Structure 1
Amino acid sequence: MKAIYGILLVALSACTSKNGVVVFQSDFGVKDGAVSAMKGVATEVDPGLKLYDLTHEIPAYNIWEAAYRLQQTAPYWPAGTVFVSVVDPGVGTGRKSVVAKTRTGQYFVTPDNGTLTLIAESIGIESVREIDEELNRRKDSRKSYTFHGRDVYAYTGARLAAGVISFEEVGPLLGDSVVRIPYQKPVLKGDTLAGNIPVLDIQYGNIWTNINDSIFNKLQLSPDKKVQAIITFRDSVVFNRPVPVVSTFGAVPEGQPLAYLNSLMNFSLALNMRSFADSFHISSGPEWKVKIVPVK
């Protein structure tokens, strides 16, 4: 009776994790066949899977940006969705290959190299399992050491999304912790807000911060107020000047700086119809910090 009950639990787990959706992210680009190879592996597991791309334009080796794009996108996908994220400069080394199950019932198949930093903080991780490559690796791929995205991650993610395996069958349980990248979290001290520049609004060169509207509004700025925006990289000041806080780009003349809340309701900086990032040589990542002080 206990054996039958155990089988039923495994079957139920597989059913509840299956929605047939796999979302791919990588730093591969689409100039060659790498992305297509991953999708081919997934399709071979189950031709009925629904395969989508988050992005394959993560800058090469940029684990931090991979972490941000997952956090930015995951809340808009349903429970049961499997994300396969492959930004893996340590491929073939001792870093762990894992599947993380979040508290929202999504799954993230990825190297445990910091990619899950922001997902762990924003959504929360219920548990993490290390991929058992004796069971969850594409057949006849053991001589390949540099394309785990195809041979391990796409294969395991597809099997999980298709219900071929349950989460418990991924491999041994590691707990609920993952490797995390340190960065400046948003904090208000006195009248000074400090935060991080996690990513750029790449198409337009706007500067997005991790300072959300709830903490920004604690400054209690009056309409048409200015703030002193100070941007540093490795503690060297790159930008330091007052900017008006407005609701839309057209509130300032073309080419002039402004501060605003972006579509994610985070404090941001821009030049009207110009690239702020290019003009002031600003990038993003854990070493890029910003301070905001009201101009009196």
Structure 2
Amino acid sequence: MMNALVLQSDFGLEDGAVSAMKGVAHSVSKVIPIYDNTHDIPPFDIWAASYRLWQTVEYWPKGTVFVSVVDPGVGSNRKSVVVKTSNNQYVVTPDNGTLTHIDKKIGIQEKREIDEHLNRLPKSGASHTFHGRDIYAYTGARLAAGVIKFDEVGQLVSEEEIVSLPFQEAELTEGTIKGAIDILDVRFGNLWTNISREMFQQLQINYGDNVEISIENDSRQVYNNMMTFGRSFASIHTGEPIVYVNSLDNMAIAINQGSFAKAYNIGTGASWRITIRKNKA
């Protein structure tokens, strides 16, 4: 059975790297369906790669094979792996933290280390800098096309050995939610947090209510102000800030027709913390 192959990387589209990966996949099967998740992951940003996988994996059918290549340690002793998710999808990637969100949010059934003697593009053994083409695209295509089965990828690896980035869930205590800014809605500069809608609802905040938002980078406060909880951007005037529920059912912050991230120079990751409190006025 032929399954979809979905590629993501930090390669961009300015040169032929992505095309080379697709060419390798088509050399395995000329009819394999190949799609792009994104190739605009910021260079070397493993956290963003992990998040972008989680953002999309659950919307694809069972059997889909994802290849994620954000690999600053290429050529080192980091492992090359394929995991089977709890939803029976597959992710082919360096084991460098890219699987963090999949592991924490979706779950992993099995993990196998790629046997490069069997699953490597022929005549590519002298190259140690383009594993995205020579190992990941090749192995992913063979798996998606049914040339190999999952148990032919390589030996089983203990799930406890999965490399994980620092990961902290949001917390609700005494009417205050503390969370993290996980990622940006890049094109528009909106802040996507790890605070779920369900947790936010426990503050008993209704559409149109004001909430207090505080943002810190490590211990430095970057932003503190009141803003409206709105159903959509149409709930506020142009240039005003808003708290809303994003497409992943988590809470997000935006400026209507503006970039919140650029306006306040805000980044993402575990060091960027956000606090939400209900306005008591």
Report if TM-score (shorter chain) is over 0.5: yes
Is residue 206–residue 229 contact of structure 2 (8 Å, CA) maintained in 1? Answer: no
Does residue 54 of structure 1 match 2:26? no
Q: Which residue of 1 aligns with 2:28?
A: 45
In structure 1, distance between residues paired with 2:141 and 2:182: 30
Does residue 224 of structure 1 match 2:230? no
Aligned CA-pair RMSD:
1.1
Return 233-242 or 93-102, whichever deviates more.
Answer: 233-242
Q: Which residue of 1 aligns with 2:190?
A: 206
Q: Which residue of 2 aligns with 1:19?
A: 2
| 1:236 maps to amino acid | R
Q: Which residue of 2 aligns with 1:36?
A: 19
Alignment of 1:139-150 (within 5 A): 139-150=122-133
SS of equivalent residue, structure 1 residue 173 = coil
Q: 1:114 aligns with which of 70, 91, 97?
A: 97
In structure 2, distance between residues paired with 1:54 and 1:206: 20
TM-score using structure 2 length: 0.96
Is residue 20–residue 48 contact of structure 1 (8 Å, CA) maintained in 2? Answer: no
CA displacement 1:213-243 (0-9 Å, x = unmatched): 1111011124532111111112211111111
Does residue 188 of structure 1 match 2:154? no
Q: CA deviation at 1:64?
A: 0.4
Q: Which residue of 2 aligns with 1:11?
A: none
Segments of 4+ moved more than 3 angstroms? none
Is residue 119–residue 138 contact of structure 2 (8 Å, CA) maintained in 1? Answer: yes
In structure 2, distance between residues paired with 1:111 and 1:235: 32
Does residue 88 of structure 1 match 2:66? no
Q: Which residue of 1 aligns with 2:163?
A: 179
Q: CA deviation at 1:58?
A: 0.3
In structure 2, distance between residues paired with 1:181 and 1:273: 33
| 1:120 maps to amino acid | D
Is residue 25–residue 141 contact of structure 2 (8 Å, CA) maintained in 1? Answer: yes
In structure 1, distance between residues paired with 2:62 and 2:232: 35
Return 199-208 or 27-36, whichever deviates more.
Answer: 199-208
Is residue 200–residue 206 contact of structure 1 (8 Å, CA) maintained in 2? Answer: yes
Return 195-204 or 94-103, whichever deviates more.
Answer: 195-204
In structure 2, distance between residues paired with 1:144 and 1:85: 19
Q: CA deviation at 1:24?
A: 0.2
SS of equivalent residue, structure 1 residue 98 = strand
| 2:187 maps to amino acid | Q
Return 273-282 or 223-232, whichever deviates more.
Answer: 223-232
In structure 2, distance between residues paired with 1:205 and 1:53: 22
SS of equivalent residue, structure 2 residue 48 = helix
Alignment of 1:2-13 (within 5 A): none
Q: Which residue of 1 aligns with 2:232?
A: 248
SS of equivalent residue, structure 2 residue 103 = helix
| 2:194 maps to amino acid | N
Q: CA deviation at 1:263?
A: 2.1
Q: Which residue of 1 aligns with 2:53?
A: 70
Is residue 19–residue 81 contact of structure 1 (8 Å, CA) maintained in 2? Answer: no
More helix by share: 1
SS of equivalent residue, structure 1 residue 198 = strand
| 1:123 maps to amino acid | I
In structure 1, distance between residues paired with 2:112 and 2:202: 40
SS of equivalent residue, structure 1 residue 66 = helix
CA displacement 1:28-80 (0-9 Å, x = unmatched): 00000000000111100111210000000000000000011100000111111
Over alpha carbons, which structure has the higher Rg?
1
In structure 1, distance between residues paired with 2:277 and 2:219: 17
Q: CA deviation at 1:247?
A: 1.3
Q: Which residue of 1 aligns with 2:243?
A: 259
In structure 2, distance between residues paired with 1:93 and 1:263: 37
Q: Which residue of 1 aligns with 2:276?
A: 292
| 5+ residue gaps, structure 2 | none
| 1:124 maps to amino acid | G
CA displacement 1:83-134 (0-9 Å, x = unmatched): 0000000000011000001111100000000101001122110010000101
Q: Which residue of 1 aligns with 2:62?
A: 79
Q: CA deviation at 1:187?
A: 1.2
| 2:211 maps to amino acid | V
